[in-house]
Amino acid sequence: MGIRHVALFRWLPDTTPEQVAEVERRLGELPGQIPELRAYAFGADVGVSTGNFDFAVVADVDDVDGFRAYRDHPEHQKVLGVISALLAERAAVQFPITR
Amino acid sequence: MGIRHVALFRWLPDTTPEQVAEVERRLGELPGQIPELRAYAFGADVGVSTGNFDFAVVADVDDVDGFRAYRDHPEHQKVLGVISALLAERAAVQFPITR
């Protein structure tokens, strides 16, 4: 068993592509900094559906402890600081997966 | 490249465990019915964070056409009918992934 963490973001209306690119750059560094991450995928919505959120992060870890280590890691907390300044809305779930 | 579809649901307050189990049973049949699905994971939130949504579905497909085939497939539409009757809130994103 593993745990998949999913977080979806809707950005504030005046969020710029450069700000989103900076979020992506910082998220891209996390797998090298947080050993508990088993798989990590993130990206902007491709615009194929109406009413979607703008961005998704999907992190796979071994267990709840692995999720807490990711969630509380200083480097992740720094990125959350950048993200939260741009955030209009957030939805998240952590659910069990077979790995 | 592939596309990852993520949908998060918050259930109506009076949703029962049996109703969620029925959703899970039906979702579990989709990979055998929809050939465009490359990976499919779903489940209830494990309760490790406050304020989360209740349920997540994560579907990996090859491309936007694969996503549309999944989205519009009659068996998927049937499950959406069951889900929408229980739904208080929904958030979704489709984003590019390297497979």
Distance from C-alpha of A16 to C-alpha of A26, rounded to nearest angstrom? 16
Give the pLDDT of residue A99: 72
CATH code, domain with B84:
3.30.70.100
Q: Does A87 touch chain B (CB under 8 A)?
A: no
Q: Give me the residues of B, 29-68, that contact A with CB < 8 A.
A: 41-46, 48-49, 51-56, 58, 64, 67-68
Choose among B4, B54, B68: nearest Cβ to A41.
Answer: B4
pLDDT in tens, A3-31: 999 999 999 999 999 999 999 999 999 99
Kindly list the residues from chain B whose CB atom is less than 8 angstroms away from the CB atom of residue A53: 91-93
In a domain, A99, yes or no: no
In a domain, A62, yes or no: yes
Q: Do B46 and A64 touch (CB under 8 A)?
A: yes
In a domain, A39, yes or no: yes
Number of domains observed in the structure of chain A:
1
pLDDT tens string for chain B (99 positions)? 899 999 999 999 999 999 999 999 999 999 999 999 999 999 999 999 999 999 999 999 999 999 999 999 999 999 999 999 999 999 999 999 987
Other residues' Cβ atoms within 10 Å of the Cβ of residue A97: 17
Extract the residue ranges of chain A whose pLDDT is less than 50.
none
Q: Which two tokens stand for residue A12?
A: 């504030």
Give the pLDDT of residue A1: 86
Q: Do A49 and B95 touch (CB under 8 A)?
A: no
Q: Do B37 and B57 meet the contact criterion of CB atoms below 8 Å apart?
A: no
In one letter, which amino acid is A36?
A: E
In a domain, A85, yes or no: yes
Instruction: Supply the range of the domain harboring residue A12.
Output: 2-94
Give the pLDDT of residue B1: 86
- Pairs across A and B, CB distance < 8 A: 98
Give the pLDDT of residue B85: 98
